[in-house]
Structure 1
Amino acid sequence: MRILIIGAISFPGSLESSYYRAFKKMKGVEIVLFDIEKKSLFKRVLGNGILDRAKRRIYFHLKNNFLRKKFLHYLKNGIYKDIDLVVDFKSYWLTPNILRVLKQNTKALIFHINPDSPFDKIGGNFHSNLKDCIHFYDCYFTYSKKLVPKLYKLKAKRVKHLPFAWDPELHPVININSDDIQKYKSDIAFIGNWTPEREKWLESIADMDLTIWGTYLWERLRKNSLLIKKLKGVVIGEEFVKVCRASKINLNFLRPQNKDSHNMRTFEVPGCGGFLLTERSKEQCEFFKEGKEIACFSTPEELREKIEYYLSHEEERKKMVKAAHEKVKNYTYLHRAKRILEVYEELKS
């Protein structure tokens, strides 16, 4: 079986890279990549200034046009004619016309995996072409149960709930030494990007021993914010693991698009052996037992209360970390990849 994966496979920590590693472990599967990071001639633009944002718009315009031409060239020259399954990761640059040509030039089923809500107009997640593209996908996979009916309303052929998972190769369980502890330790750690909601949550505990690990987006903090002194750098892979294991408590906040659902941190923190204190949601409590495997909060008052409680109950924390790690072994990207192929076989039979 030949699978074409379309996405930012070489981008550090990307979802598609985790699926690529999972599919590679499966017998009888050959992977073909259309890596939008390697195919593109253009480099990502970082920074939060007005000029940076303008450059980013130009960057995406040029990059997307380049990718369209490159992909169409491959299709029309028969490069993908023997592909059985296309797994596309949030490739909004794929137009209805390109998807039509893909259907005409291959025998493949087309599966779309979106780690974000295509209806979210904040943060670059909105898919303006979704209504015209969605009927080309033989199956649309979404992390959120609540998005399933919305996608069917747009005339999706099939929608399947596919949660996030843990990638043991990206976030392995590793022992940390005294130098690691000294560099990464804190009572409370948060790993993730800035949002207005997260800023409010974290400012409510700014008086505590807190570290924030993230990208240039944290430059959007107010100039007099108490959180500025808490900022550290970006951590990916083993550095991410070291922060999680060196910190007593790892926080997780759900974006508006993840409310009542979950996110990648739901599985990543327990996977690498960290203690997870997460904003409460129905789906997360279906994956893990609250108070036994993970801890949850819903208000700033409860957040502070839970932090104070678990900082003073070390043995309870350790038991929960162990229990959550055992549970997350059933939630890996290999499990998710197998589910994708199950759907493929169902549609082919």
Structure 2
Amino acid sequence: MKKVLIVGQTLELGRTEEVYGRGFSAAGCEVKHFIWKEAEPTLFSRSLGYRVAWRVAWQLLARSANQKMIEITNQFKPDLTFVIGPNLVQPSTIQALQQHSLVFVFFTDNPLDHHHTHSNVWVRRGLPLWDAVFIWSQKLAEKLIYQGVKKVLFHSFCSDMQYHFPKRQANPIYDVAFIGNWDASRKREQYLKAISHYQLGIWGSDYWITHCRETSLKNCCKGMCTYEEIPEILGSAKIGLNILRPQNETGHNIRTFEIPVSGTLMLSERSQDLLNLFEEDREAVYFSSPDELKQKVEYLLQNPNLIQFIADAGYKKALTHTITERVAEIASLYEQLKSTHMEAYS
């Protein structure tokens, strides 16, 4: 596998497509990116007119971008095309890309969710066409296999050690730090309300100010943070909090690795995938209700040595889940499938 085409929405630092681009390049591959925002900027316009057009005629708007992708593939001739979030990929485009390479997809959202930002008719029609489907939830992987998708693999997120590493403060300002946007389910509000009497810091969009109903959280909001600022923020707290969005409840999220690889104890909402990744009460601490969260915070703050012990163990485990390992998994499957295809046509 010498040449890899990565298809994604943006090359913003820390985005999955950007991280995997660095990972494949470090593995010695020639990497080319196809970016939807560059191919068809109107697809991402914030104007009201374009938002209405998106709802009504998104397929029409995306077709020209699909053709551009096919043209780039014809010129670049990749060995592997790796698609991140395929919401804009026509099913016929998958088949066109397969004329040159194996085509893998990594779903960073739930393709079985009918929310328009997670799935659509193209996503559902394309599911059986991919050479391999990677997804961050074991339960979703099982559902996709049950629906007849030919090759599905659980593929967790990973630690980005180039930008995330321990930056611990000798005297942390916060008891608990939470990095994450406000969520319309209001579940995050309820969890954070339960621990608002502690030194709590919340980093996320201004929706925490404009949409949050819990007044006790208003003074905790610190605004947005950059990808590079995450270690400093987590280093300023004794505990890093992870509250899953509803769509991630069957699996995990990127915070699963950002917190422990920064050397901070991860206190996370409980899920089976998280329990499989980080051992409970040894490499991370878990909760399943606001009351349990409150009890765990209280207990941990009374036991600083335990915080340090679990944080150290979580950090060591996070070091085994890097982009290097993830790219190696993809390369191994590529070689396996390539060999199978060659045997089929020999």
Q: TM-score range by the shorter chain?
A: 0.7 to 0.9
From the superposition, tell whether residues 313 and 45 of structure 1 become closer, same or farther in structure 2 (CA, over 3 Å).
farther
- Aligned partner of 2:25 in structure 1 is 24
Deviations 1:181-216 (A, max 9, x none): 6xxx31111101112111111122222221111124
- Aligned partner of 2:35 in structure 1 is 35
* 1:41, distance to aligned residue in structure 2 (A): 2.9
From the superposition, tell whether residues 56 and 322 of structure 1 become closer, same or farther in structure 2 (CA, over 3 Å).
farther
* 1:6, distance to aligned residue in structure 2 (A): 0.2
* 1:220, distance to aligned residue in structure 2 (A): 5.4
Is the 1:115–1:142 contact (alpha carbons within 8 Å) kept by the matching residues of 2? yes
Alignment of 1:102 onto 2:100: no
Alignment of 1:248 onto 2:257: no
From the superposition, tell whether residues 109 and 43 of structure 1 become closer, same or farther in structure 2 (CA, over 3 Å).
closer
From the superposition, tell whether residues 323 and 73 of structure 1 become closer, same or farther in structure 2 (CA, over 3 Å).
closer
Question: What is the one-letter code of the residue matched to 1:200?
Answer: Q
- Aligned partner of 1:127 in structure 2 is 120
From the superposition, tell whether residues 216 and 67 of structure 1 become closer, same or farther in structure 2 (CA, over 3 Å).
farther
* 1:44, distance to aligned residue in structure 2 (A): 5.2
- Aligned partner of 2:344 in structure 1 is none
- Aligned partner of 1:86 in structure 2 is 81
- Aligned partner of 2:132 in structure 1 is 139
From the superposition, tell whether residues 137 and 212 of structure 1 become closer, same or farther in structure 2 (CA, over 3 Å).
same
The residue correspondences of 1:192-211 to structure 2 (distance < 5 A) are: 192-195=180-183, 196-211=186-201
Write the distance in 1 (CA, Å) between the matches of 2:239 and 2:267. 7
The residue correspondences of 1:167-246 to structure 2 (distance < 5 A) are: 167-174=160-167, 185-195=173-183, 196-219=186-209, 221-223=211-213, 225-246=215-236
Alignment of 1:347 onto 2:337: yes
Is the 2:105–2:130 contact (alpha carbons within 8 Å) kept by the matching residues of 1? yes
Q: Give the TM-score, by structure 2 length.
A: 0.87
Provide the secondary structure at the position in 1 that maps to 2:41.
Answer: coil
Question: What is the one-letter code of the residue matched to 2:181?
Answer: N
Write the distance in 2 (CA, Å) between the matches of 1:212 and 1:152. 38
Provide the secondary structure at the position in 2 that maps to 1:327.
Answer: helix
Write the distance in 2 (CA, Å) between the matches of 1:176 and 1:204. 25
Moved more, 221-230 or 127-136: 221-230
Is the 2:73–2:97 contact (alpha carbons within 8 Å) kept by the matching residues of 1? no
The residue correspondences of 1:312-323 to structure 2 (distance < 5 A) are: 312-323=302-313
- Aligned partner of 2:254 in structure 1 is 264
Deviations 1:93-125 (A, max 9, x none): 11122223323xx32011010112112234721
- Aligned partner of 2:343 in structure 1 is none
The residue correspondences of 1:108-119 to structure 2 (distance < 5 A) are: 108-119=101-112
Deviations 1:297-326 (A, max 9, x none): 122221111111111222221122111111
* 1:223, distance to aligned residue in structure 2 (A): 5.0
Provide the secondary structure at the position in 1 that maps to 2:267.
Answer: strand
From the superposition, tell whether residues 139 and 300 of structure 1 become closer, same or farther in structure 2 (CA, over 3 Å).
same
From the superposition, tell whether residues 171 and 62 of structure 1 become closer, same or farther in structure 2 (CA, over 3 Å).
farther
Provide the secondary structure at the position in 1 that maps to 2:120.
Answer: coil
* 1:174, distance to aligned residue in structure 2 (A): 3.9
From the superposition, tell whether residues 55 and 220 of structure 1 become closer, same or farther in structure 2 (CA, over 3 Å).
farther
Provide the secondary structure at the position in 2 that maps to 1:72.
Answer: helix
Length, aligned pairs only: 336
* Pairwise CA RMSD: 2.6
| Percent of residue pairs identical | 29
Is the 2:234–2:262 contact (alpha carbons within 8 Å) kept by the matching residues of 1? yes
From the superposition, tell whether residues 23 and 207 of structure 1 become closer, same or farther in structure 2 (CA, over 3 Å).
same
* 1:20, distance to aligned residue in structure 2 (A): 1.1
Match of 1:274 among 235, 246, 264: 264
Write the distance in 1 (CA, Å) between the matches of 2:109 and 2:70. 27
Q: Which runs of 5+ in 2 are unaligned?
A: 340-346
Write the distance in 2 (CA, Å) between the matches of 1:60 and 1:41. 16
* 1:157, distance to aligned residue in structure 2 (A): 1.8
Is the 2:91–2:126 contact (alpha carbons within 8 Å) kept by the matching residues of 1? yes
Q: Give the TM-score, by structure 1 length.
A: 0.87
- Aligned partner of 1:8 in structure 2 is 9
Provide the secondary structure at the position in 2 that maps to 1:234.
Answer: coil
* 1:145, distance to aligned residue in structure 2 (A): 0.7
Provide the secondary structure at the position in 2 that maps to 1:83.
Answer: coil
